Amino acid sequence: MTQTSIPDITPAEGHQRVQQGALLVDVREPNEYAEIHAEGAQLLPLSELESRFGELPKDRPLVMICRSGARSARAGEYLRAQGYGDVVNLAGGTLAWADAGLPTEQGGQ
């Protein structure tokens, strides 16, 4: 697991948080997202995070996800530095989410 300043959570914990109202934020690039993504994930590429982070709600928990957990951890650390309080990283990313049998989607941006 990546050592970050934000907590790592399991796919099951991430799914539970989303079911309780957290926003799942996928920070991969659009082509990666279109191949497969966690159901309901909002795409906000890491490459655009600095200019678009204001689109994310500060009053809602955020679960950050990428392919394997490294980019989402960096994104989460950045958001914490911008004043977002409840931010966690999904350890293992989309790969772990899919391996856990949690719902995924294809297509879209």
Catalytic residues: 66
- Tokens representing residue 99 in the block: 């391996």
State phi, psi for 88 to the nearest 5 degrees.
Answer: -130, 160
DSSP H or E stretch at residue 66: none
Residue among 70, 72, 67, 75 at smallest CA distance from 49: 75
- Tokens representing residue 78 in the block: 């950045």
Burial category of 108 from C-beta neighbours within 10 Å (exposed 0-12, middle 13-18, buried 19 and up): exposed
